[in-house]
Structure 1
Amino acid sequence: MPKLTKRIVDAAEARPAPYFLWCTELRGFGARVFPSGRRVYYADYRTTGGLRRRMAIGEHGKITVEEARKLAINTMSDVIRGEDPVEERITRRKSMTIAELCERYLKAADKGQILGRARKPKKASTLVSDRGRIEHHIIPLLGRRLARDLTTADVQRFVREVQEGKTAKRYKTKARGIVLVEGGDGAASRSAGLLGGIMSYAIGEGIIALNPVRGVKKPADQKRDRRLSPEEYQALGRVLAEADEQGESWQSTHSIRLLCLTGCRMREIANLRWAEVDLSGSCLRLSDTKEGRSVRPVGQAAVALLRQIAERQAGAHVLPATRGKGGFGGIPDAVERYTRRAELRGVGAHTLRHSYASTAGDLGLSDSTIGAMLGHAGHGVTSRYIHHLDAVLIAAADKVAEKLSSYF
C-alpha cells in the first residue's frame, strides 16, 4: 500500500468485515474501513513493555488524512518517549468530572453530533435550554463528581434537590434583564432527562459503562395541568391595563397579550419577526420552532393587536429589546411580575399556552384542530409551500382569540 491519501481512503470499498489500509510512508498509521462505509484513522504501536496498542485518532470526513497523519506522528513521538497514549486516554476518561463531561457534550452538540428529535442535530434553541439546565442545576449539584462514580442514588438525590428548589435563584444580566431559575417538578424532570442523555453520550464515548439515570423516578410536571379561569383572566387583564396606564414597557404587557391570544411558546413570541407575520393571511409563518418550520393561525383579536404594535415601531422584531438589539428578553420577568400582581399562583408562560388550548377545548374544537393551532408535532401545518391556511383553522383561532380578548 502506498502513502495513505484522501483519494485512497475515499475509494476504499466497504466489505462484509472491517479491514485496514496501512500507510507505507508512516509505519503504524492507517485507516479502518467498516462494513457501514465509515472510515476511522488509527495509530498502531507497541508500548515499552511490548504490549500492542491500537488507538483511534479520528473519523474520516471530520478530520483530513493530513490532520490524522500529524496526530499519528505526535502519538508515535509520545511512544518513543516511553508514554502510552491509549492508557493515558483511558485514565483521563475515567477521571472526568460531570462538569468536564457536560462541557464535552456541549462541544459535540455544537458540532451537530448530538441528535435530538427525528434523529436530527439538536436545534440552537434547544441547546440554549440545555446549557441553562447544565449551568443552573447539573453543575452546581453534581459538577465535581467523577462521571465513573455517579450512582443511581446520586441522581435520585439530584432530582429531589432540584424539586425542593435548592438551585432556584434570581439574577440580573446586562442583555436580558432578570433571569429566574426555578426548581420544582418540571425543572427536576427535564434536568434529569438531560442528564440521562449526557450519560448516554458518555457510554458511547467509552467514559462509563452503565447509565446511572436509568431507573430514576422522575416527577410529573404538575404545572402543565394549570389553566386560568375566567376570573383569573379578568384579573390579569386589569393588571395589564393598569401597567399600560402607568407607562410600563409596552413590550412587557403586549408580550403577555400575545401569549394569551396566540397560544405560542414564550421563545416564539420573544423571537417573532415581522417577516414571519402574515396579517392578510391571519397567520404566523414561524421559521424556527421546536418542531421546525410551522404555520400558526391567529384570530382577528391577535391580528388587531399586531397591527397596533406595527404602528408603534418598524424594527425587525415584533417585540424589540428595550435595550440593545434583538428580540425582547424580558418575558419571563413580565409573566412573573404581572401574575404576582394579579395574585395568580403557579402561572408561567406555558400556563398561558395550556389555557389557550383548554379554552379551545371548551369551545368544542377537536384535538387535531387544537394540535394544529398550537403547532404540535404530528398536527402542525409545517410545509414551507403552504400559502393559504385552511379556513377552518383560521375560524377556530378567531373563535378562541375572540373569547380570550374579552378579558383584555
Structure 2
Amino acid sequence: MTLWDDAVVGFGARRRQGTQISYIVVYRTVEGRQRLITIGRHGSPWTADTARTEALHLLGEVARGGDPLADQRGRRAAGAMSIGDLCDRYLADMETGRLLTRHRQIKKPSTLRIDRSRVEVHIRPLLGAVPVAALTREDAERAMSLIAEGRISQQVRRDKYGLSNVRGGRGAASRTIGLLGAILTYAVRLGLRADNPVHGVVRPADGRRERRLRVEEYVALGEGLLVAEDDTEVWAPGLVAIRFLLLTGWRRGEVLGLRWPDIDLARRTAPADLGLADATIGTLLGHRDHTITQRYIHSADAALLAAADAVAERTAELMAGIVRPPHPTQVLASSIA
C-alpha cells in the first residue's frame, strides 16, 4: 500500500509488510525511464517532514539531469569494486571504442598497449586491491614515489613484439599517475566516486628529451640510402618509406596506416581525420601547445604546406650532401659564446 504526498509529486510512503513504513520517491530519467528510490524507513532520522525535504533534494538532482538511483547503486558498487577491477573495465571500454579520449577520439592500439603495461606493471601491484571508494590522494602520491624510485619493474610480453623491460623512474611515474587520473575520471562518470583523488597531485616532469639529427648525420643517412638503393637484396619500398618518413616528419604508424583514398592530391594534403598526431603538425608550425594546433589546423593548409615544403627541401639538401654556410646570426651567436 502506498500513500502519495499532495505537496511533492512523486514522494510517498509505502507499507509492504507488517507495520514498517518506508519513504520513497518515483521519478523519470532524462531518457524517460521510471525509477523508484527508497529514502529510508520511518523513524529516526526519517519522519514525514525530513523525508519530504530529502525527496525535494533528489527531485532537484533529477531536474538537473541526474539519476539518484544510478548514483546510489554506483556508490554501493564502488565499495566492492577494486582499482584493479576498475582498470580492467576502463581498458575494455577503451578497446571497444565505448570510451573516447578527452579529444573525443578512439585510442590507438599502440597507446592501449602502453596503458595496459602501465596498469600491469605499476598500478595493479601498488593499488590493485584498494577499493575504488577508499583510494586517497596520499595513496596516489605514495604510488608515484615508489614508481619514481624504480621500486616496481618487470618484464612484460608485448604480443608479437616479445618481452619488454618496463622500469620505473620519474617519467614513468608522471605518465602512470596521469593514466590513473584518467581512469578515476572515468570512475566519477560511472558514479563510483564523487571526486578524483589524483586531481591536485603534483607530478614530476616526465623527462622527455627532444633530439634532432645533426647536419653530418643527415649527410651520412643520405649516403647510406644511396648505397642501399644500389643493393638488389634491399627491399626498395622500404627505402622509399624511410625517405617519406624523413621528408614528412610523420610517425611510423601514420605512414603504415596511409592509404590512397586518404590522400588529396589536388591540395597536397591528407585529412586530419587520418589520425595524424597534433604533435607532428604542431612541430611543423612551431607550436609548443597542442591546443593551439587543434584550433589552427582547420585553417592552416597554406602555412602548413609552406612549413612542410621548407623542412622537406632542407632535409633533402642535407641528405644529398648540400651543406649551406651558417647564417650570419648563427656566426655572431657562436662568436659571442
In 2, the alpha carbon distance for the partners of 1:394 and 1:96 equals: 51
Among 197, 201, 212, which residue is 1:216 paired with? 201
Structure 2 unaligned regions, length at least 5: 1-7, 13-23, 63-68, 321-337
Among 106, 114, 123, which residue is 1:142 paired with? 123
In 1, the alpha carbon distance for the partners of 2:9 and 2:266 equals: 61
Partner of 2:319: 407
Alpha-carbon distance change, 191 to 274 in structure 1, aligned in 2, over 3 angstroms: farther
Comparing both chains, which one has the higher relative contact order based on Cα–Cα distances under 8 Å and sequence gaps of 6 or more?
1
Partner of 1:288: 274
What SS does structure 2 have at the residue aligned with 1:212?
Answer: coil
Alpha-carbon distance change, 169 to 104 in structure 1, aligned in 2, over 3 angstroms: same
Q: TM-score, normalised by structure 1?
A: 0.51
What SS does structure 1 have at the residue aligned with 2:208?
Answer: helix
Partner of 1:309: none
What SS does structure 1 have at the residue aligned with 2:247?
Answer: helix
Counterpart amino acid of 1:379?
Answer: Y
Pairwise CA distance, 1:404: 0.8
Partner of 2:88: 103
- Give CA deviations for 1:248-283 in whole Å, capped at 9, x if unaligned: 555655444333211223432221111122445433
What SS does structure 1 have at the residue aligned with 2:309?
Answer: helix
- Give CA deviations for 1:349-401 in whole Å, capped at 9, x if unaligned: x8xx59x94xx6xxxxx747x999xx931222369xxxxx53x6434322211
Q: Find out whether 1:205 has 2:190 as its counterpart.
A: yes
The answer on whether the counterparts of 1:31 and 1:39 sit within 8 Å (CA) in structure 2 is no
Counterpart amino acid of 1:134?
Answer: D
Pairwise CA distance, 1:93: 1.7
In 2, the alpha carbon distance for the partners of 1:170 and 1:238 equals: 38
Structure 1 unaligned regions, length at least 5: 1-17, 23-27, 60-74, 76-84, 293-349, 361-365, 384-388
In 2, the alpha carbon distance for the partners of 1:284 and 1:111 equals: 24
Among 281, 293, 296, which residue is 1:376 paired with? 293
In 2, the alpha carbon distance for the partners of 1:141 and 1:238 equals: 44
Bigger share in helix: 2
The answer on whether the counterparts of 2:184 and 2:196 sit within 8 Å (CA) in structure 1 is yes
What SS does structure 1 have at the residue aligned with 2:198?
Answer: coil
In 1, the alpha carbon distance for the partners of 2:197 and 2:293 equals: 31
In 1, the alpha carbon distance for the partners of 2:201 and 2:277 equals: 28
Counterpart amino acid of 2:205?
Answer: A
Q: Percent identity?
A: 27
Counterpart amino acid of 1:125?
Answer: K
Say how many residue pairs are matched.
Answer: 274
What SS does structure 2 have at the residue aligned with 1:42?
Answer: strand
Q: Find out whether 1:196 has 2:181 as its counterpart.
A: yes
Pairwise CA distance, 1:214: 2.3
